[in-house]
Amino acid sequence: MSLQVFSYQNNPIAFSQKDSVMINANQMAKPFGKLVSNFTKTEQTQYFIDALCKQYSLKNSEVLLSVNGGSNPGTWMHQKLAIKFAAWLSPEFELWVYDRVEELLLTGKTEIRHKSPAEIIEEGYKLALQEVTLYKEQLQLANSTIKEQAPKVEYFEKVIDSKSLIPSSVIADHFGESAQWLHKELKTRGVVWKVGGVWVLTAKYKDKGYAEIKPFPYYDTLGNLKTKNQTYWTEKGRMFIHNLLPESKAA
């Protein structure tokens, strides 16, 4: 026979296991301030004990046993009666007892026990070490991604920062307006139209050297480098726009 003691709300409760599990009922009742006799003397409990003995060919002492003296005194209950007693005490306690009994029957032990301060410190150290390791891995991955994409970024910056190409927003700012306003004005005058989300010159102006389409880099929500085409104006195109649009709009 093996004896294991577990804690429920800081109250020790002994479980004894051999062919079945027996539980110390006095210790079960203590957290709730109730007497075991108030449960065992009820007519319903007596009927249950009789049925339990008949159903499983058990002796009364194998269902309800009083132990006087020794290292484990008290009233001990068969697991099935103990679960019924636990339900009488508290539904939450019933589930706790049920889980302990189930684990004991399946594995011969239960993992619910108090951990020593040394174990708690060791587990905390291991968890912290795992967090540090994960952080280092994520940092290495981020640095690797930056190094991998750096040549691409440098290439796009060189293309877009070319002094010979001017974004619409810069030209629009001369008029005190936005790029959206500029595109609308140019569209009204038949200079540009939108194709696949990109403003491009119409057939009348596309071969005059006013603008070029270049890739524009950006990062998506996942941090991946992406590109989309965007129209940039040449110096010749900038002069054309300034001559085309009303001077009253110029800053």
**Range with lowest mean pLDDT among 73-82, 105-114, 210-219, 227-236:** 105-114
Distance of CA 213 to the CA centre of its chain: 43
* Inter-residue contact 246 to 225 (CB < 8 Å): no
Q: Which residues of 231-242 are buried (b: 16+ CB within 10 A; e: fewer)?
A: bbbbeebbebbe
- Residue 111's identity, in one-letter code, is E
Residue 2 above 90 pLDDT? Answer: no
Q: Render pLDDT for 143-152 as a digit per residue (tens, 0 to 9).
A: 776 666 665 5
Task: Say which range, 15-29, 137-151, 165-179, 194-208, has the weakest mean pLDDT.
Answer: 137-151
